[in-house]
């Protein structure tokens, strides 16, 4: 079959037949050499398969001597195994018809025909027999229920679009051969290595010297009828056998009636891709009611159907290996959502399996069979048990967390929402690949207040002996939740979330330890910054959440703590400036440096904050010296200014007295003062005192 295939047991609780001729019936007529040639003719007009058998028998048991006696053996009859649906059986030898009786056998789908010889065969004698019978077409019942076998060894389908029947070689034949002609338009059997086409003809032939069972299916795709079924703005193409209106109508009812419910339950849009649901006889030779082939978006279903089977296969449009990694989860979700869509949460159908069953095994080890037509008894029973067990786990999960939470979790898994989610734009490793049952369990666990029963369910049914691993998980999740409560809505680091998602609980524990140390440092830092009115970095939550390893977390811890301590020291340095430093900083851009440093720190740009702090520190370092210099200069300027003012006032006073005529004739005039003189204000070598008389 085309791969990958998603298969479905048709009905919960339906019996699975034993594999045809899995344990061949005891061989009879062992003292004869038998060759059988089968000539099969497909009669589309009469909808039957006509079989002619040419049987050559040679009795080989030799004479035996017992003392003085010679014992001679004779062969009086021969036994043939025919399909139980055979009609019109005739047997003859070269002289005419022979009598025979038909008895039932334990092997499903077979009857035993005992042919009486006209004359006994003695050792070395041969006989040629001709046996003929017909296999009339009898399509499987349309209603699939608890009484319908999934493997119908005696089922025969003959119509213009499909021919199918079970071919058995005689189990006692030393050699057998068989042939049939392909009707016009029919293709060779798919993935069937028993039959080979005769060169230059439409004849298929097979031969061998061991027992052979093969369920032969040939189909004429061009003869299929086609119906387009619209629903909710979409279309699905049905391809079915000509005239099989019952099958068409039943499948259509599920598409128009229950498929919209299924879409609503999953919360995922119907894919915008053409889907074909095809009726096929291929299912008759397998233990499956149908399968979904993702490569060509095609569902193959047998004639016997029920609502759950149709919806199960339709749900595989979502539940497939492209999205889910585990077979049990794929099939379990398909079963549960089909049941919810068909019957609702209170439906009567329930899985009936137990961990005490002899066939019980850990579902984590359930993989696809090498071939869907492998009908050995042990594999069929294991398949049926695994389907039921998978459904039990998903059904119990839904009951524990509720329908709404169950559908939300499923929608999250299908929609790529990770367990232990990070920032919305955080890339998720494997987001485009299939999700595992562990992620499904983690998401489901987040939706229940009591994880214990849910964990025990998965530990027992999925991993089997997974108790220790689940105990580690429980302890890690408790620490994870405590850490979540501590950060109060802030997303935890990827260094913690990723190993939790991968069930690396040792790695997660180490990351949680590092995160707790980080938070201790940060809480101290946050308090110190707050006491000084310094805002905390606005990108802290994002960078904290994106720290993808313990190393990244430790690096960020060192960076933010160092930067925060530097900012605190800078602010404290500025706040503690003395009067001389403040005088020295008059007119500087220290406040701008301070504001820039705080803005950079708040923005998480620790490099820029450090640069601003360094420039501000340079200003502060020389502030005291500049302040003292400025004080001295100011004092000097003040003295000179005062002296100038005094001199100016004296001269002004003197002139005022002169104008008023109050100065005596012999009073000497005020000396001229050279303001450019030395420090004492006078130049003694150039001073000149003159006396003038008022005229």
For the chain, give every domain's residue range.
32-221
| Res 371: pLDDT | 64
Is it the case that residue 591 has pLDDT exceeding 80? yes
Cβ neighbours of 205 (radius 10 Å): 15
Average pLDDT, the chain: 84
Tokens, residue 403:
């329908």
Question: Could you tell me the sign of the dihedral formed by the alpha carbons of 373, 374, 375, 380, in that order?
Answer: negative
Lowest mean pLDDT among 20-29, 61-70, 86-95, 638-647: 20-29
DSSP-assigned beta bridge partners for residue 130: 54, 92
Report the CATH number of the 32-221 domain: 2.60.40.3650
When pLDDT is cut at 50, 70 and 90, the band that residue 319 belongs to is very high
Please determine, for residue 687, whether its predicted confidence score (pLDDT) is greater than 50. no
Task: Decide which of 228 and 344 is more confident.
Answer: 228
Three-class DSSP category at 386:
helix
**Is the CB of residue 483 less than 8 Å from the CB of residue 515?**
yes
pLDDT at 217: 93
Strands 32-43 and 175-181: parallel
Task: Give backbone dihedrals phi and psi of 89, rounded to 5 degrees, phi first.
Answer: -70, 130
Among the residue ranges 156-160, 224-228, 581-585, the one predicted with the least confidence is 581-585
Angle among Cα 382, 386, 387 to the nearest 5 degrees reads: 120
569 DSSP 8-state letter: H
Residue 431: the pLDDT is 59
pLDDT of 225 reads: 96
Measured between alpha carbons, how far is 429 from 431 in angstroms, rounded to an integer?
A: 6
Q: Hey, what's the torsion of the CAs at 390, 396, 399, 404, to 10 degrees?
A: -40
Tokens standing for residue 610: 């450090």
Neighbours of 573 (CB within 10 A): 16
195 in Cβ contact with 215 (< 8 Å): no
How far is the C-alpha of 99 from the C-alpha of 90, rounded, in Å? 9
Q: Where are the alpha helices (DSSP H) in 172-258?
A: 245-257
Residue 168 neighbours by CB under 8 Å, 6+ apart: 20, 21, 81, 83, 110, 211, 212, 213
Cα separation, 534 vs 526, in Å, equals 9
User: What's the confidence (pLDDT) of residue 20?
Assistant: 38
> Which residues touch 484 (CB under 8 Å, ≥6 apart)?
492
Res 688: pLDDT: 40
Statement: residue 224 has pLDDT above 90? yes
User: By mean pLDDT, which of 263-267, 398-402, 521-525, 667-671 is the weakest?
Assistant: 667-671
User: DSSP string of 468-515?
Assistant: HHHHHHHHHHHHHHHHHHHHTTPPPPHHHHHHHHTT-HHHHHHHHHHH
- 125-to-34, 72, 76, 99, 148 alpha-carbon distances in Å: 12, 13, 12, 20, 47
Q: Averaged over 466-481, what is the pLDDT?
A: 90
Beta bridge partners of 301: 279, 290
Strand 275-279 to strand 298-301: parallel, antiparallel, or no bridges (unpaired)?
A: parallel
CB 438 within 8 A of CB 325: no
pLDDT at 9: 40
How many residues comprise the chain? Answer: 695
DSSP conformational letter for 282: G
Instruction: Please list the residues that pair with 680 across neighbouring strands.
Output: none
Confidence bin at 457 (pLDDT 50/70/90): very high
- Sort 642 into a burial class: Cβ within 10 Å, 0-12 / 13-18 / 19+: exposed
CA distance to 171, 230, 289, 382, 422, per residue, from 302 (Å): 29, 22, 6, 22, 45
User: What is the number of other CB atoms lying within 10 angstroms of the CB of residue 134?
Assistant: 17
Mean pLDDT of all residues in 444-465: 90
Give the strands of the sheet with 100-104, arranged side by side: 74-83, 110-122, 100-104
pTM recorded for the entire structure: 0.78
On whether the CB atoms of residues 297 and 288 are closer than 8 A, the answer is no
- Reported as a pLDDT band with limits 50, 70 and 90, residue 594 is confident
Which helix or strand (DSSP H or E) is residue 453 part of? helix 451-461
Percent of the chain scoring above 90 in pLDDT: 55
Tell me the β-bridge partners of 64. 71
Q: Which of 670 and 319 is assigned the larger pLDDT?
A: 319
Which residues, in sequence order, are bridge partners of residue 91?
A: 131
Mean pLDDT of 244-259: 95
Between 25 and 193, name the one with better pLDDT. Answer: 193
pLDDT at 226: 96
Q: What is the band of 652 on the pLDDT scale with cuts at 50, 70, 90?
A: confident
pLDDT of residue 13: 32
DSSP 8-class letter at 618: H
The pLDDT confidence band at residue 626, using thresholds 50, 70 and 90, is low
| 87: exposed, middle or buried (Cβ count in 10 Å: 0-12, 13-18, 19+) | exposed
Would you state the pLDDT for residue 467? 74
pLDDT band at 18 (very low <50, low <70, confident <90, very high): very low
Pairing state between β 162-168 and 157-158: antiparallel
Q: What's residue 216's pLDDT?
A: 92
Reported as a pLDDT band with limits 50, 70 and 90, residue 653 is confident
**648 to each of 37, 461, 653, 656, how far by Cα in Å?**
147, 110, 9, 12
pLDDT given for residue 16 in this prediction: 30
In the predicted model, what is the mean pLDDT of residues 172-194?
91
Helix/strand/coil percentages in the chain, nearest 5: 40, 20, 40
Of the spans 127-136, 146-155, 368-377, which averages the highest pLDDT? Answer: 127-136
Residue 28 has pLDDT above 60, yes or no: no
Better-predicted residue by pLDDT, 467 or 255: 255
Residue 148 has pLDDT above 80, yes or no: no
**In whole angstroms, how far apart are CA 685 and each of 415, 644, 668, 672, 681?**
104, 22, 19, 13, 12
Asked whether the predicted pLDDT for residue 263 surpasses 70, the reply is yes
Query: What's the pLDDT score for residue 289?
Result: 86
pLDDT of amino acid 364: 92
Asked if 181 and 202 count as a contact pair (C-beta separation under 8 A), the reply is: yes
């Amino acid at each position: 079959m085309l791969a990958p295939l998603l298969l479905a047991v048709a009905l919960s609780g339906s019996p699975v037949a034993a594999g045809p001729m899995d344990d061949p019936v005891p061989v009879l007529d062992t003292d004869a050499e038998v060759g059988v040639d089968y000539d099969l003719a497909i009669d589309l007009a009469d909808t039957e398969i006509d079989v002619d058998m040419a049987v050559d028998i040679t009795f080989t048991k030799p004479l035996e001597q017992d003392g003085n006696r010679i014992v001679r053996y004779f062969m009086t009859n021969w036994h043939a195994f025919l399909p139980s649906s055979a009609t019109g059986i005739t047997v003859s030898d070269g002289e005419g018809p022979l009598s025979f009786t038909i008895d039932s056998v334990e092997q499903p789908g077979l009857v035993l025909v005992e042919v009486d010889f006209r004359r006994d065969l003695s050792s070395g004698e041969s006989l040629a027999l001709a046996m003929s019978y017909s296999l009339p077409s009898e399509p499987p019942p349309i209603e699939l229920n608890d009484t319908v076998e999934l493997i119908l060894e005696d089922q025969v389908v003959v119509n213009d679009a499909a021919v199918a029947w079970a071919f058995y070689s005689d189990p006692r034949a030393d050699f057998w051969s068989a042939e049939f002609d392909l009707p016009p338009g029919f293709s060779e059997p798919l993935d069937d290595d028993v039959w080979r086409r005769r060169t230059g003809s439409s004849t298929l032939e097979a031969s061998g010297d061991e027992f052979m069972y093969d369920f032969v299916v040939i189909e004429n795709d061009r003869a299929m009828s086609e119906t387009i079924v619209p629903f909710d703005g979409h279309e699905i193409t049905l391809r079915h056998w000509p005239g099989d209106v019952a099958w068409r109508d039943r499948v259509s009812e599920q598409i128009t009636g229950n498929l919209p419910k299924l879409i609503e339950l999953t919360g995922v849009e119907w894919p915008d891709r053409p889907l074909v649901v095809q009726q096929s006889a291929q299912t008759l030779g397998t233990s499956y009611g149908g399968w979904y082939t993702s490569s060509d978006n095609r569902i193959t279903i047998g004639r016997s159907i029920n609502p759950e089977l149709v919806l199960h296969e339709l749900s595989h449009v979502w539940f497939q290996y492209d999205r889910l990694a585990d077979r049990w989860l794929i099939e379990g979700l398909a079963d549960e959502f089909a049941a919810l869509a068909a019957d609702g949460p209170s439906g009567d159908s329930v899985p009936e399996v137990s961990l005490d069953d002899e066939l019980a095994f850990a579902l984590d080890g359930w993989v696809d069979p090498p071939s869907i037509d492998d009908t050995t008894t042990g594999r069929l029973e294991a398949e049926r048990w695994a389907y039921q067990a998978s459904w039990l786990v998903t059904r119990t999960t839904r009951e524990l967390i509720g329908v709404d939470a169950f559908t939300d979790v499923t929608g999250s898994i299908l929609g790529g929402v990770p367990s232990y989610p990070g920032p919305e734009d955080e890339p998720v490793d494997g987001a485009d690949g299939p999700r595992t049952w562990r992620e499904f369990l983690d998401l489901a666990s987040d939706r229940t207040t009591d994880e214990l029963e849910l964990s025990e369910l998965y530990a027992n049914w999925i991993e089997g002996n997974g108790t220790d691993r689940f105990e580690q998980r429980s302890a890690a999740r408790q620490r994870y939740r405590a850490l979540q409560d501590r950060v109060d809505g802030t997303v935890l680091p990827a260094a913690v979330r990723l190993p939790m998602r991968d069930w690396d609980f040792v790695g997660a524990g180490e990351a949680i330890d590092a995160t707790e140390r980080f938070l201790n440092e940060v809480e101290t830092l946050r308090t110190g910054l707050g006491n000084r009115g310094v805002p905390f970095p606005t990108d802290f939550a994002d960078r904290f959440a994106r720290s993808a390893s313990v190393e990244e977390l430790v690096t960020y811890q060192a960076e933010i703590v160092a930067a925060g301590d530097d900012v605190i020291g800078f602010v404290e340095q500025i706040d503690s400036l003395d009067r001389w430093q403040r005088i020295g900083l008059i007119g500087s851009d220290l406040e701008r440096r301070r504001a820039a440093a705080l803005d950079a720190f708040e923005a998480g740009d620790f490099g820029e904050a450090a640069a601003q702090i360094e420039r501000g520190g340079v200003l502060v370092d020389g502030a005291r010296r500049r302040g003292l210099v400025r004080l001295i200069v100011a004092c000097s300027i003040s003295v000179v200014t005062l002296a100038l003012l005094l001199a100016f006032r004296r001269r002004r006073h003197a002139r005022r007295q002169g104008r008023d005529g109050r100065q005596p004739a012999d009073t000497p005039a005020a000396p001229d003062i050279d303001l450019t003189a030395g420090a004492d204000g006078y130049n003694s070598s150039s001073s000149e005192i003159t006396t003038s008389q008022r005229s």
